[in-house]
Amino acid sequence: MRLFGKLIAAAAMSVAFTVNPAQAQDDVKIALVVKALGIGFFEAAHEGAKEAAEELGGVEIIYTGPTDTTAEGQIEVINSLIAQNVDAIAVSANDRDALVPTLKKAMDRGITVISWDSGVAPEGRQMHLNPSSNALIGEMCVKMAAEHLPEGGGDVAILSASATATNQNIWIEEMKKVLPNYPGVNIVATVYGDDLADKSYREAQGLIQSYPDLKAIIAPTSVGIVAAAQAVTDAGKAGEINVTGLGLPSEMAGHVESGASKSFAIWNPIDLGYSATMIAYNLATEKAMAEPGAEIPMGRMGSVKLDDNNEGAMAEPFVYDASNIDDFKDIF
């Protein structure tokens, strides 16, 4: 799924630091390393990190990253942070493996290292924070469809990416697992748009024509959900067939306004930056340990429980609808 493809349009900015000069020298220094500067998604995560720092007190946030989405650029940034002797590095990696030697050097110097959003191989970090889990994504997709079915029931179809897309297939499996909890949801078909806008549009048209009682289309792909919403609008079915799934606020705002989509979901970057900062702080100050089974506090987001790979999920996907779409459509 190409959820963040449009976000990789980094502005030409030099490495930048956000430092409050009024903070004391012994503040806990947490570096939030992003894939590249100038990307709205990560700038929103920075807002969450600043929120966490203010809540914790005595925390200095260093927001930094390369000028483009390269591992080489992140390695240069991380080496600079090691030289500054920061207390923690929280990185969204451009390369799962390439950062490992540099991050191991950071840990050898006593620096707490976590990854978030886009993970680092286990030997290069203490833990990884996933935005959500497969189970939570699957259940949220079904829940959003069920909430807007007339009289609590109706035909629902799935528009996926490709038939071989691992993440899509896992999410669809998770959707089917929770169907007993949503007896009104009647899955009538699963079709594949291959994450191509034109094919996804045609597949959605086919669903509308083949299933006259269709009440919802679930598209767990940012390409598919936009194409399906457009197909529903073009068929004059906005308000009659609800399109939901996973999408970007910037691409779905118009379809929420038109009524083709009542709601959709994706993670909240503000919450993600907030949670990563809370975790980095608790590990750096030894208020928590990164080990299988551990539960690490994340402030207002609760806590994350680590699995055998020291990975955990932040929360269920964040739902966007008419009540909040304007707050996020210009961010990502």
Listed in sequence order, the residues at least 6 apart from 286 whose beta carbon sits closer than 8 Å to its beta carbon are none
Q: Write the DSSP symbol of residue 37.
A: T
pLDDT, residue 40, reads 83
pLDDT, residue 25, reads 54
- Asked if residue 227 lies in contact with residue 216, where contact means CB atoms within 8 angstroms, the answer is no
CA 85 to chain centre: 29
Listed in sequence order, the residues at least 6 apart from 61 whose beta carbon sits closer than 8 Å to its beta carbon are 18, 30, 31, 32, 46, 49, 50, 53, 277
User: Three-state SS for 9?
Assistant: coil
Partners of 127 in beta bridges: 114
pLDDT, residue 24, reads 47
* Rg from Cα positions in the chain: 21
- Measured distance CA(201)–CA(24) in Å, rounded: 56
Amino acid at 251: E
Comparing CA positions, the residue from 311, 293, 315 lying closest to residue 129 is: 311
pLDDT, residue 167, reads 82
- Structure tokens given for 328: 């996020």
102: left (phi over 0), alpha (psi -120 to 50) or beta: alpha
Q: How many CB atoms lie within 10 A of CB 54?
A: 11
- Structure tokens given for 68: 């483009």
pLDDT, residue 21, reads 40
What's the distance, Cα to Cα, between the start and end of the chain in Å? 16
- Residues of the chain short of pLDDT 70, as ranges, are 1-25
